[in-house]
């Protein structure tokens, strides 16, 4: 009660933001997004450790971290992560199951994007459905789809652009820096494009900004 009176918490429930089934009495700190991002980062670090022990790949979570860093450096405002709701809009889901979500909701110059990162190695027919499912989520939230994927086929790419939406086929598999030696060997011996880094090189940052500028011009027509 005291926290509420002093303005340290709001009455917004987690169910209003992410569809998490918490009791009605639960209240959300006003710095909720900061806390939530910290919890996500801790979960990702745990996944990296688990990956080393089980020999599974941490590439998916790490790619999200790299894009998070890119959006921050380019002055996009990250307003939500693992988002299934935005404003008064919510995505459709299966009753009794966690709502599907987008990796980020970001804003820049009054344009709001629903971003999903796909750092996959293989691209198959089912991959197209995965991409379009994420596009559908953004449209349900009435925001601009922004797909960041190592590869997207041309037909799907043009289909998203026509919506209108953004696709960034960044081409290089993104891995944590610990895998740099493996990445260099794979690139040298197999010609496989891999980037082992925590941050994008400037030319990739510039390309993300260029995609936004193009969308900004389209929105102003």
Angle at 164 between CA 123 and CA 210, to 5 degrees: 80
Look-up of token digits 């011996």: 189
Would you state the structure tokens that stand for residue 24, as one six-digit string? 């009605």
**In which residue ranges of the chain is pLDDT below 70?**
1-30, 41-58
The two structure tokens encoding residue 184: 């260099």
Tell me the pLDDT tens digit for each residue of 89-136.
999 998 999 999 999 999 999 999 999 999 987 888 899 999 999 999
Residue 82's closest CA among 61, 112, 111, 58?
61
Strand intervals (E) in 77-215 = 77-83, 85-86, 89-90, 102-108, 111-118, 144-149, 166-169, 173-175, 194-196
pLDDT at residue 31 in the model: 74
Model-wide pTM > 0.95: no
Chain centre distance of CA 201 = 19
* Domains defined for the chain, CATH in brackets: 57-219 (3.40.1350.10)
Q: What pLDDT is attached to residue 125?
A: 86
Q: What is the pLDDT of residues 93-102, one digit of tens each?
A: 989 999 999 9
Q: What pLDDT, on a 0 to 100 scale, did the predictor assign at position 33? A: 75
């Amino acid at each position: 009660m005291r926290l509420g009176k002093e303005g340290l918490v709001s009455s917004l429930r987690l169910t209003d933001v992410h569809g998490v089934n918490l009791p009605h009495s639960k209240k959300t700190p006003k710095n909720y997004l900061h806390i939530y991002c910290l919890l996500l980062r801790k979960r990702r670090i745990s996944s990296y450790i688990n990956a080393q022990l089980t020999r599974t790949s941490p590439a998916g979570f790490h790619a999200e971290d790299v894009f998070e860093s890119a959006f921050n450096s380019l002055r996009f405002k990250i307003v939500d992560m693992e988002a299934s709701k935005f404003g008064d809009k919510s995505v459709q889901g299966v009753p009794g199951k966690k709502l599907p979500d987008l990796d980020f909701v970001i804003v820049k110059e009054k344009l709001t994007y629903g971003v999903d990162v796909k750092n996959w190695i293989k691209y198959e027919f089912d991959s197209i459905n995965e991409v379009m499912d994420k596009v559908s989520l953004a449209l349900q939230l009435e925001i601009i789809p922004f797909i960041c994927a190592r590869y997207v086929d041309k037909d799907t790419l043009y289909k998203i652009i026509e919506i209108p939406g953004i696709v960034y086929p960044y081409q290089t598999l993104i891995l944590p820096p610990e895998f740099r030696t493996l990445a260099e060997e794979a690139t040298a011996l197999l010609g496989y494009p891999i980037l082992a880094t925590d941050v994008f090189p400037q030319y990739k940052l510039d390309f993300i900004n260029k995609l936004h500028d193009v969308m900004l011009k389209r929105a102003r027509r």
